[in-house]
Amino acid sequence: MKRRSVQHLKLDFQGSKEREMHFEHENFAAGISPFLRGPYSSMYVQKPWTIRQYAGFSTAEESNDFYLKNLKAGQKGLSVAFDLATHRGYDSDHERVQGDVGKAGVAIDSVEDMTLLFENIPLDKISVSMTMNGAVLPIMAFYILAAEEQGVNLQDLSGTIQNDILKEFMVRNTYIYPPTKSMKIVSDIIEYTTKKMPKYNSISISGYHMHEAGATPEIELAYTLADGLEYIRTGLRAGLNIDDFAPRLSFFWGIGMDHYKEIAKLRAARILWSKIVKQFNPKNSNSLRLRTHCQTSGWSLTAQAPFNNVARTTIEAMSAIFGGTQSLHTNALDEALSLPTDFSARIARNTQIYLQDETQITNTVDPWAGSYHVETLTEDMAKNAWKLIQEIENLGGMTKALEMGIPKLKIEEAALKKQARIDGNQDLIIGMNAFKQKNTRGIDSLEVDNSFVRKTQIERLQKLKKYRNKQRVQQSLLELTNCAISGKGNLLEFAINAGRHQATLGEISLALEKKFDRYEAIPNVLKGIYHKEISDDPNYQSASALVTEYRNSQGEPPKIFLSKLGQDGHDRGLKIIASSFADLGFEVHLGTLFKTPKEVVQESLQKNVALIGLSSLAAGHKTLIPEIIKELKLFNREDILIIVGGILPRKDQLILLEIGVSCIFGPGTKISQAAKEILLKLIQKKDRL
């Protein structure tokens, strides 16, 4: 068979960029390309969506116990959350991860941890989705070896590895290696799973983190499909036929509160993906089918009146279902405050059970089909997303566009505009900037003892290294490095061999880093966008006036160094603060990601700032922020104020305030109010000095 050459295609509807798209909806059935009404003809009538819960925390044993309870309570598949140390390719004993181990996911350092994670869970019967991109090679290797230890054949494994590194460079930032080198890893995993794991999805092309970072539905749709197009080219370059791997590609969308638009997004996604893949002349109709997992929005949840989040999650879940998702995770009500508790996780899981078993919505296919409103939104969504896809194509594809920083810039602009509309009360968030409650009931939050988890993991690592064959470990790691250098062979096969000889996740990652290097993004501060959207707001004007007053009295603007600590790459909040504070008149210095406390203090002193602003979303604040305060004391610079923002339980806030943090701002804080409070504290401190 003659295979089409891999090239950058001008993807046009009906052969013309200029021609307006018209959908003949009555001809677009479920189960038939372009799959407008669903990827399968009967949709939920015969098989409802899979109920998943994205979860993982602390040690492998604790997460395993949580998984077993959930499966017993009606969950149908597992979605594994790994801690940030694991995501970034560090073992738990690395100095850079002291505040991250076991906090925002489960700590996995070796194949022994992975075996414990799935103990008493038959991997030939339970579908496993793993959200992993940076350290995808060792995690995939450990999963395969854990299945091997259970006696499960590779052909019987089902589930999904995210393996979507491109979106990490746009939004989530849990990358390890540079984009081009990372794509070699993606390619080898697609090749390996295509040949040996026919039931396993080799990649989950994810728009979810774009959604969480502030992308509009159109941007999320366009950039996710553009990523998918890039992965198709990657598979073809690896020598695979389009029909060998396209049927096992899957997608992952975030679902927000714009109910009808989110339904339209999923419907438009199927049409556009079918059109994209058709350009490569597949013979198998399954290659054209877009199958997807969805997760309700984490960003839409509020810390204020958290029980309102149950309603938000239900509305978002219904959007995903009406849009035709194949599996679904519903967020818990307390996730704007901490990791979910058993209490909140049960409500989130049961929300899906109610929708499946009590509402009768599984008895029809695409219930909104024919609605003038939904069909119009679907058409508009497809046309607008297609324009954005063509922009990426004209730049040479998504990898080229990422190197230019274009997608990241558009998402950050969208996030700034949205935040300004919320701060200016143009977009209402119930309980946060509208219909506020004076007294809200406090709720329990899940607490992970980070020091205990790290101690446990380090002891396990020490024991592993004591009894393994060091020579075999070093030889297997050298072979992996040589594969990376030569480009010959499959990296996943070499990683599996290293894991079999008990090489750790950190060692496997380092073996690749020797050739690929570790990537570091240069941050930028966007100016003028927030100001343009909110300049007429009285609160913004009064905050700006206070900055001017400070500058006139001190002879310089207020200087702030903004940073994230540890390995958390979610930087939406940090970027919004940087840009909005710059528009207000602050002198803003934005640090690179993944800083240690010592590095933050060192850079702050070099910039001679009066304020250090720290963003915390991954629960490492109790370990890392006290280290900042200790470092400042060593230099006799207690005059520098520490400001903290992010997801912090109330009891943790009180602890941080007691040890010297000046201000703490949770999710939903209006930026102008935060700026005024910070400036007043700074003026008071300078007056005392």
The token pair at 394 is: 């004209």
Residue 423 is a catalytic residue: no
Q: Which residue is catalytic, options 570, 575, 622, 676?
A: 570
Please report where in the chains the tokens 């003892």 appear, as a residue: 449
Where helices occur in 151-255 by DSSP H, the ranges are 166-167, 179-196, 208-213, 217-237, 242-245
The candidate with the shortest Cα–Cα distance to 200, out of 175, 163, 239, is: 163
Q: Which residue is catalytic, options 113, 227, 568, 571?
A: 568
Q: Which residue is catalytic, options 209, 265, 329, 676?
A: 209
The 3-state DSSP class for residue 372 equals helix
Residue 211 is a catalytic residue: no
Phi-psi region of 681 (alpha: psi -120 to 50; beta: other; left: phi over 0): alpha
- Check residue 124 and report its DSSP letter: T
Please report where in the chains the tokens 């219909």 appear, as a residue: 435
Please report where in the chains the tokens 């979303």 appear, as a residue: 617
The token pair at 226 is: 């553009």
Please report where in the chains the tokens 């046309």 appear, as a residue: 383
CA 151 from chain center: how many Å?
Answer: 33
Residue 408 is a catalytic residue: no
Q: Which residue is catalytic, options 54, 175, 192, 223?
A: 54
Please give the Cα distance from 54 to 70 (Å, whole number).
11
Which stretch of DSSP H or E encloses residue 538?
helix 538-554
Compute the CA torsion angle 494, 496, 498, 500 (nearest 10 deg). Answer: -150
Cβ atoms of residues 224 and 253 within 8 Å:
yes
Please give the Cα distance from 209 to 392 (Å, whole number).
19
Residue 568 is a catalytic residue: yes
The candidate with the shortest Cα–Cα distance to 369, out of 327, 323, 325, is: 323
Please give the Cα distance from 114 to 510 (Å, whole number).
19
The token pair at 18 is: 């200029």
Which stretch of DSSP H or E encloses residue 498?
helix 491-500
Cα–Cα–Cα angle for 541, 543, 547, rounded to 5 degrees:
115
Q: Which residue is catalytic, options 564, 589, 595, 676?
A: 564
Cβ atoms of residues 662 and 296 within 8 Å:
no
CB contact set of 204 (below 8 Å; sequence gap of 6+): 129, 160, 161, 162, 163, 164, 250, 251, 252, 293
The candidate with the shortest Cα–Cα distance to 628, out of 618, 643, 617, 649, is: 643
Residue 564 is a catalytic residue: yes
* CB atoms closer than 10 angstroms to residue 199: 14
Q: Which residue is catalytic, options 44, 208, 530, 540?
A: 208
The full length of the chain comes to 689
Residue 373 is a catalytic residue: no
Where helices occur in 300-364 by DSSP H, the ranges are 308-323, 342-357
Give catalytic residue positions. 54, 208-209, 564, 568, 570
